Amino acid sequence: MSAGPGAAPRRVRSVYVHAPFCARRCVYCDFAVAVRKTGDLPAWIEALTGELAHVDREGLVRLADRLETVYVGGGTPSLLGPSAMFELADVLGSDRLADPSLEWTAEANPESLTAEVAEGWRSAGVNRVSLGAQSFDPAALRWMGRLHGSEGPQSAVQVARAAGIDNLSVDLIFGLPAHIGRSWADDLRRLVGLGVPHVSLYGLTVEAGTALGRAVREGRETPVDEDQYRDEFLMAADVLTRAGYVHYEVSNFARPGFESRHNSMYWRGRPYLGLGNGAHSFASPVRRWNLRSWEEYRAAVAADSSPESERETLDETARALEAIWLGLRTNRGLEEPATGTARADLLSTWIEGGLACASDGRFTLTTEGWLLLDRLVIDYDEAGPG
């Protein structure tokens, strides 16, 4: 993606693979999904095989001999059945997945993570599962269009553990409309009770092309309440940190040693290859992304054409801004600016206002600061390096 004529291909050690199939599209969903009762495994494997062959022919990037992380997201990868990860291993090359330190994550919905799927995944080498729970509240689950019941997350955690997969992450959504009557405190209590080592929290967003976006435009639903959004985010951070989780990224909490290595690779700006419809790839300074439609992506690969939709080359200014954004969204933070600079003055203001803290030559945003992340990134960038 970034190699010039005659340059050696960039080696990537992390791969994202998109599985687009979902049994139902949730009310808020703006992802690149294809609604199917079951996943089309043969077509998926054929398309991925074709895309990877095209990547090899293009010669700009190459998969390393040993991969460090693989992440299968969606969509709902668990709809593809118990043999899917064996077949994916054949596509990527089993030798590349042989490193015992490999982190191989696959996403699942509670209702489709059966014992057969979990056992098949574990046998293939999957050692981390991310469960899309979103809520434990029956009314909230119905409003979102989720297919599992309130006991679904607990059952799925038990299924995964029985198959030998203990490295588990659970997703929850906060900021749901108040009229639903969901108790966020109760959802957090039940989440902590699962005892999983990783949690991802996402605030509800209203995307224009979704069912929720249409409902808001037509006045049938209310926009997200900013005060509620703030209060629920702060409550979650307090509950989870008290329960022993480290708030290591804006949306992510982990027991020590269970941080997502794959996502951390994104936040550190490392190169990665994305396969599948809508998947993004990055090798500085170039980012590219595939066609979002499953059918269009599949047709392009079948025609032996590139499924790439667009690409962008980040200039020095854009790379500097992205480095600030990536640094401030994690608890690694950034190096403290030089004394006497506009950025140092700005940081002092943030610290006084409870938005940041500093130690050992680095500074990070506080939980309150993370609520204002995008604005603070712009302010820090505009303050300039000098």
Cβ pair 267, 251 in contact under 8 A: no
pLDDT, average across residues 171-189: 97
pLDDT digits (tens, 9 = 90+) for 303-362: 999 999 999 999 999 999 999 999 999 999 999 999 999 999 999 999 999 999 999 999
Please give the Cα distance from 122 to 115 (Å, whole number): 11
DSSP string, 242-276: HTT-EEEETTEEE-TT-S-HHHHHHHTT--BEEES
Question: pTM for the full model?
Answer: 0.95
**CATH 3.20.20.70 domain range(s) in the chain:** 10-267
Cβ pair 226, 178 in contact under 8 A: no
pLDDT, average across residues 153-177: 98
Q: Does domain 315-386 have CATH number 1.10.10?
A: yes
**CATH 1.10.10 domain range(s) in the chain:** 315-386
Please provide the distance, in angstroms rounded to a whole number, between the alpha carbons at the two ends of the chain: 32
Secondary-structure percent of the chain, ordered helix, strand, coil, rounded to 5 = 40, 20, 35
Report whether the peptide linkage leading into residue 285 is cis, meaning its omega lies within 30 degrees of zero.
yes
Other beta carbons less than 10 A from residue 13's beta carbon: 20
Please give the Cα distance from 9 to 4 (Å, whole number): 9
What H or E segment, with its residue span, contains residue 42? helix 41-58
Other beta carbons less than 10 A from residue 19's beta carbon: 27
Cβ pair 289, 308 in contact under 8 A: yes
pLDDT band at 2 (very low <50, low <70, confident <90, very high): very low
CATH topology of domain 10-267: TIM Barrel (3.20.20)
What H or E segment, with its residue span, contains residue 159? helix 152-162
Other beta carbons less than 10 A from residue 238's beta carbon: 13
CB-facing half-sphere around the CA of 165: CA atoms within 13 A: 31
Please give the Cα distance from 347 to 386 (Å, whole number): 13
Higher pLDDT, 188 or 36: 188
Name the one residue in this structure whose structure tokens are 């139902």: 24
The pLDDT of residue 358 is 96
Q: Rounded to 5 degrees, what are φ and ψ at 280? A: -105, 150
Name the one residue in this structure whose structure tokens are 């059966």: 114
